[in-house]
Amino acid sequence: MGYATASSIAKYCHNLLGSEPTWTVSTCPTKKQVDSFLSTGCAVLETILGGKGYTTPVASGTAVYGWLGHLEEMWGAAHAEFHRTNITLSPGERTRGMFFYEQFWMELDRLMKQDLTMGGAGRSGAGKIYAGGISIGDKQAVESNTDLVTPRFFRGVGRVPNTLDPQPSTASTR
C-alpha cells in the first residue's frame, strides 16, 4: 500500500511526460517503473516510521497520511528525474532529481521531529516503558516472569537507616 500514485507525481515531472497526461508504457520512465519508485519510497517511509515505534501503514484520512503522500511523491519525482538525467553535470550543479531527493529527506526529518500521534499515526507496543501494575497481583505476576531484564533500581535502594521499611508482602523483591 502506498501513500501516493503514479499520476500524483506527474504534476512534478510534466517535463518528462511530453504530451502524455500521466505515465504510460511509452513514457520514460514507464508507469511500471514509476510505480516501482513509489513502492520503494513507501518502504523507506514505513521502515523509518516503524523504527520510531509507529504502526504502519498509516490509516488514510489522518493528517499524517497526506504528509506521507507528499513525501512519497517527492521520492517518486526524484527517481523519475534521475531515470531521465543524461547530461554531464559540472561540480556543484544540481539536477531536478537532486532537488526532489533533498526535499524528501529534509521534509522527512521535519516530520520525524513531530509527535505523529497528534496527526493520527498510531504507536505500536514496542518501546513502551512498564512501570508496574496497580495491584499486588500485577506486581507478583511481573516478578514471577523469569524472562524479564533485571531492573537498574529496586525498592529499598538508598534506604535511610531508622526509617519505616515496607512489608515483605508488598515490597518488590527485585
Q: What is the pLDDT of residue 137?
A: 75
pLDDT-based confidence at 156, cuts 50/70/90?
low
Q: How far apart, in whole angstroms, are the C-alpha atoms of residue 75 and residue 69?
A: 10
Q: How far apart, in whole angstroms, are the C-alpha atoms of residue 128 and residue 93?
A: 45
CB atoms within 10 A of CB 72: 25
Nearest to 2 by CA among 38, 36, 50: 38
Residues 6+ apart with CB under 8 A from 47: none
End-to-end CA distance of the chain: 46
Separation in Å, CA 98 to CA 2, 62, 167: 22, 29, 66
C-alpha cell at 56: 504502519
pLDDT-based confidence at 134, cuts 50/70/90?
low
C-alpha cell at 54: 509507529
Q: What is the mean pLDDT of residues 114-130?
A: 60
The 10s digit of each residue's pLDDT in 67-116 is 898 899 988 888 888 887 666 666 666 677 888 888 888 888 888 887 77
The 10s digit of each residue's pLDDT in 8-63 is 888 888 788 888 888 888 888 888 888 889 898 888 888 888 887 887 888 888 88
